[in-house]
Structure 1
Amino acid sequence: MGKANDNDNKMYVLDTNVLLHDPLAFLSFQEHDVVIPMTVLEELDHIKDGKRDVSRDARVAIRALDEVLKDASPEQMLEGVRLPSHKRVDGKPSKVGQLIVVNDHLYPDSISGLPGNENDHRIINCAVRMQKQHTSTKVVLVTKDINMRLKAKGAGLSYVEDYRTDQLIDDIKLLSTGFKRFQGDFWASVGDCQTEQNGRDTYHHVPKSLLPDVFCNEYLVDDTEHFAARVTGYDEEHITIKDLGVERLLHQMAWGVKPKNVYQGMALDALLDPNIELVVLTGPAGCGKTLLALASALEMIIEKRIYDKVIVTRNTPEIAESIGFLPGTEEEKMAPWLAAITDTLEVLHKNDESPATSRNYIMEKANIQFKSVNFMRGRSIQNAVVILDESQNLTASQLKTIITRCGEGTKLICTGNLAQIDSNYLTPLTSGLTYIVERFKDFEGSATINLNGVVRSRLASFAEENL
């Protein structure tokens, strides 16, 4: 087989799970050809009639494919139909590839050596056939199934890839933490700068060359354990930072909760600021994400009267689909999945004379509502604090649904631990939580705080390191 260079045209054979992950994935391969085996269309057909989110994605994929192929004859579908493109190079439409539908049922199993009674094997068989037929073209099987990638290589397919077009980072270690730590003394590297006072707050204008890749609401700390600041704006020459100070961060309080270290202090500062509409808290279990989120919500609703209610939601099993058919209200069905919230309320009121009575009273006074993600579509949530717990198990599409429901005056708090993904369809790199951290870091109304540096209980820390 002739070897194809990276600059040569390529042919991508798509697996079904790629179209379920991104229904418009076949439009993402620029000038290269895209092959859809007939087995993929059959699998989409079997999935489309369900009521789960994955069924909706199957229907979207089918409609998108039909839009491209609706005017094509059977011969044209087999030869290839030009893919649509809105990109232009030097004022002219850019080169695009073709969409090809292949009847892989006509290919004998002997091509790959895999038995043809499994759909995965038929798709691999199709890719191997394309590789043998198009020797001067780099034929690539694209699938999110790791085991299928291994089987494809074992069957003789030279190029197998994961679908990475929607991955904003290549390594989860590159995910934004929401703060930067400077070695030594921050002010020693700044020199002279312009300072202004606005009420109780002090702002400094430092050179942009000091922080070339900064973004709004990113926190700054150094090794002196005294300096702490938050970026409030920037232009091509200067960055405006709000001087906070570690001591000031540690002396904040929300519903009786004080931060234990500067990481929780930064999180609490972002949570209590009504001008920050989206706060994302990431980190391991036990670092205080839910506790800080709920304490801040109660403080802003009951004490400061900024918001009217708290809406708490999280994904339920089956990728945020069914919450059960047993008798009971929506809140009663959601209660087991939101036990972390009720546990946190008990911690916040454990020293009261009657903790259970206090918890019920606060739930009523703060108007805490437990809602399912299923029923978020079509709503418009006004002047509320929305706490989305365990958001690492949601897709970018599901998170988009929730974020677009947040109306005027609503604050959204997303918490999650990317090391504890329960969904079969997501990884730390494709999780919706990772997506919004990277997509919203340049949005001036959002802040992300990674609480990995928080000291947890000795038991939890030991388990994390040794089990």
Structure 2
Amino acid sequence: MIKNFVLDTNVLLHNPAALASFTDNNVIIPIVVVEELDKFKASADKKGMHARQALREIDSLIKKGALDKGAKMENGGTLKISFSSGENLPDCDASLNDNKILVVALELQKKGEKVIFVSKDVNARIKAAAFGLKTSDFEKQKVQYDTLYKGWRELLLPSSEIAKLYKDKKLKVKEKLLKNEYLLLKAEDKQNESALAKYVSEEDCIVPLPNYYDAMGIKPLNMEQRFAFDLLLDDKVKLVTLIGTAGTGKTLIAVACALQKTIGTDPKYEKTLVSRPVVPLGKDIGYLPGTKDQKLNYWMQPIFDNLHFILNTEKNKEKKDGKEFNPQSKIDYLLDTNVLEIEALTYIRGRSIPHQFMIIDEAQNLTPHEIKTIISRAGEETKIILTGDAEQIDNPYLDANSNGLSYTAERMKEQDITGHVLLTKSERSELASLAVNLL
């Protein structure tokens, strides 16, 4: 039986390409949803961009059929714009658009049609269920965070095999491994004997990791950070996802490796670009006080804090050589010469980004569609790093399973030029670690 999916406005604001997800079924858009999209379209933030895209998609279907009767979509489904009769829901405010949308769904259900109300808003779904409607979150782009690929695994081997790995610098193993997957090797016949390795798909073997990593004076403090350093400093890997709670060092090591690859001894990229979603809930940076630079400094302060920490580390190293070094002057110089760019995500959409080491911090607040848009802007010889904490999400329509960071890590895990590490070990104070785990 054909299903009728009645869409809430937030579904299209979340993913303007959502219409293509309901294959061979009817998609019903209440007229009030079109009106809400029209109100959002002038906004400069991501909601405005998504509203415009959704309206263009609807407009493109007009030539394929009358929208009040149903226009055929390429996926085999039909799109229809529906009006309500004006009936009110009992004990509900008739002026609220959410209630007007529910009326459309209920009236369709009364005609004997199979109706499913689709919304990213949990309150709207609860209300719909209370009136007897079947409900659904928009789940096309979801993964299971609890079982998310973590980028590495533990493997037991005879100690003789571990010795062979170090001797030959490579080793064939029977296990099926993912491309760029890391391994903690433990000797099954000897205690306290272990090794770290990486699977190289081109040679179908594992290779030992280097014992030493250094990026602008920053060094890995644990096994997971060593895995992350290896991905970040590998020029063949074009996309890296780092997921971790506060204190795991994901942003710090990403920025350190970016600077190493931009201004270090063997630079590969012309510029380091660091960005993050402007504010929670998709607000534009314009709501913050001050000039654009003042607004950026306010929102990007965590990035500046990391830069100061990194360059202070480098400062201590250079002092031994008798050289003077001022971290803030160095930051200002890098910004003035355009070797370093720190920009709100609002201002980099639509740009082509070639020859850059690009970091998107707090990427858990982006939808899969937004991250796809960012990655598709990557120009020649650009490396993209996505960092964030999938358990600390400000966007009310995203969670650990549906955010763009988790989705990208899982979906891209089998590609030659991508890599992922889940960071779990906090390197902050004991008190900070307790707060993350207990509060």
Q: TM-score, normalised by structure 2?
A: 0.86
Three-state SS of the structure 2 residue aligned to 1:227 is strand
- Alignment of 1:291 onto 2:252: yes
Sort the Cα spacing of 1:61 and 1:226 in 2 relative to 1 into closer, same or farther, 3 A: same
The answer on whether the counterparts of 1:68 and 1:84 sit within 8 Å (CA) in structure 2 is: no
What residue is the counterpart of 1:4 in the other structure? none
Q: CA RMSD in A?
A: 3.0
- Alignment of 1:19 onto 2:7: no
Note the C-alpha offset of 1:304.
2.2
- Alignment of 1:153 onto 2:129: yes
The answer on whether the counterparts of 1:396 and 1:431 sit within 8 Å (CA) in structure 2 is: yes
Aligned with 2:96 (options 111, 118, 125): 118
Q: Over residues 365-387 of structure 1, what are the superposed CA-to-partner deviations in whole Å (9 max), with x where a residue is unaligned?
A: 59322122222234333333222
Q: Over residues 420-458 of structure 1, what are the superposed CA-to-partner deviations in whole Å (9 max), with x where a residue is unaligned?
A: 222234322232212321232222112111111345421
Unaligned runs of 5+ in 1: 1-7, 86-95
- Alignment of 1:179 onto 2:147: no
Note the C-alpha offset of 1:163.
0.7
Sort the Cα spacing of 1:118 and 1:177 in 2 relative to 1 into closer, same or farther, 3 A: same
What residue is the counterpart of 1:281 in the other structure? 242
Q: Over residues 151-171 of structure 1, what are the superposed CA-to-partner deviations in whole Å (9 max), with x where a residue is unaligned?
A: 1111222x111011122x1x2
The answer on whether the counterparts of 1:393 and 1:422 sit within 8 Å (CA) in structure 2 is: yes
Sort the Cα spacing of 1:15 and 1:192 in 2 relative to 1 into closer, same or farther, 3 A: same
Rounded Cα–Cα distance in structure 1 between residues aligned with 2:372 and 2:254: 20
Sort the Cα spacing of 1:310 and 1:233 in 2 relative to 1 into closer, same or farther, 3 A: same
Note the 1:312-351 alignment, pairs <5 A: 312-317=274-279, 319=282, 321-323=284-286, 328=291, 331-348=293-310, 349=312
Three-state SS of the structure 1 residue aligned to 2:245 is coil
Amino acid in structure 2 at the alignment position of 1:15 = D
Rounded Cα–Cα distance in structure 2 between residues aligned with 1:41 and 1:340: 38
Rounded Cα–Cα distance in structure 2 between residues aligned with 1:278 and 1:181: 23
Note the 1:219-368 alignment, pairs <5 A: 219-224=182-187, 226-233=194-201, 239-244=204-209, 248-249=210-211, 251-300=212-261, 301-317=263-279, 319=282, 321-323=284-286, 328=291, 331-348=293-310, 349=312, 352=316, 357-361=326-330, 364=333, 367-368=339-340
Amino acid in structure 2 at the alignment position of 1:82 = K
The answer on whether the counterparts of 1:382 and 1:409 sit within 8 Å (CA) in structure 2 is: yes
What residue is the counterpart of 1:93 in the other structure? none
Aligned with 1:40 (options 9, 24, 33): 33
Unaligned runs of 5+ in 2: 188-192
Three-state SS of the structure 2 residue aligned to 1:313 is strand
The answer on whether the counterparts of 2:213 and 2:219 sit within 8 Å (CA) in structure 1 is: yes
Three-state SS of the structure 1 residue aligned to 2:19 is helix
Rounded Cα–Cα distance in structure 1 between residues aligned with 2:160 and 2:147: 25
Q: TM-score, normalised by structure 1?
A: 0.81
What residue is the counterpart of 2:83 in the other structure? 103
Sort the Cα spacing of 1:189 and 1:422 in 2 relative to 1 into closer, same or farther, 3 A: farther
Amino acid in structure 1 at the alignment position of 2:340 = I
What residue is the counterpart of 1:205 in the other structure? 172
Rounded Cα–Cα distance in structure 2 between residues aligned with 1:374 and 1:149: 30
The answer on whether the counterparts of 2:65 and 2:72 sit within 8 Å (CA) in structure 1 is: no
Three-state SS of the structure 2 residue aligned to 1:12 is strand
Q: Over residues 129-150 of structure 1, what are the superposed CA-to-partner deviations in whole Å (9 max), with x where a residue is unaligned?
A: 222211xx43111111100111
Rounded Cα–Cα distance in structure 2 between residues aligned with 1:309 and 1:59: 32
Sort the Cα spacing of 1:138 and 1:383 in 2 relative to 1 into closer, same or farther, 3 A: same
The answer on whether the counterparts of 2:166 and 2:208 sit within 8 Å (CA) in structure 1 is: no
Sort the Cα spacing of 1:325 and 1:9 in 2 relative to 1 into closer, same or farther, 3 A: closer
Note the C-alpha offset of 1:363.
5.4
Sort the Cα spacing of 1:60 and 1:362 in 2 relative to 1 into closer, same or farther, 3 A: closer
The answer on whether the counterparts of 1:385 and 1:411 sit within 8 Å (CA) in structure 2 is: yes
The answer on whether the counterparts of 2:276 and 2:363 sit within 8 Å (CA) in structure 1 is: yes
Amino acid in structure 1 at the alignment position of 2:392 = Q
Rounded Cα–Cα distance in structure 1 between residues aligned with 2:15 and 2:329: 43
Identity percentage of aligned residues: 33
Sort the Cα spacing of 1:356 and 1:323 in 2 relative to 1 into closer, same or farther, 3 A: farther
Amino acid in structure 2 at the alignment position of 1:205 = K
Note the C-alpha offset of 1:310.
1.8
Note the C-alpha offset of 1:362.
5.5
Sort the Cα spacing of 1:326 and 1:460 in 2 relative to 1 into closer, same or farther, 3 A: closer
The answer on whether the counterparts of 1:114 and 1:125 sit within 8 Å (CA) in structure 2 is: no
Rounded Cα–Cα distance in structure 2 between residues aligned with 1:325 and 1:120: 29
Note the C-alpha offset of 1:266.
0.7
* Equivalenced residues, count: 422
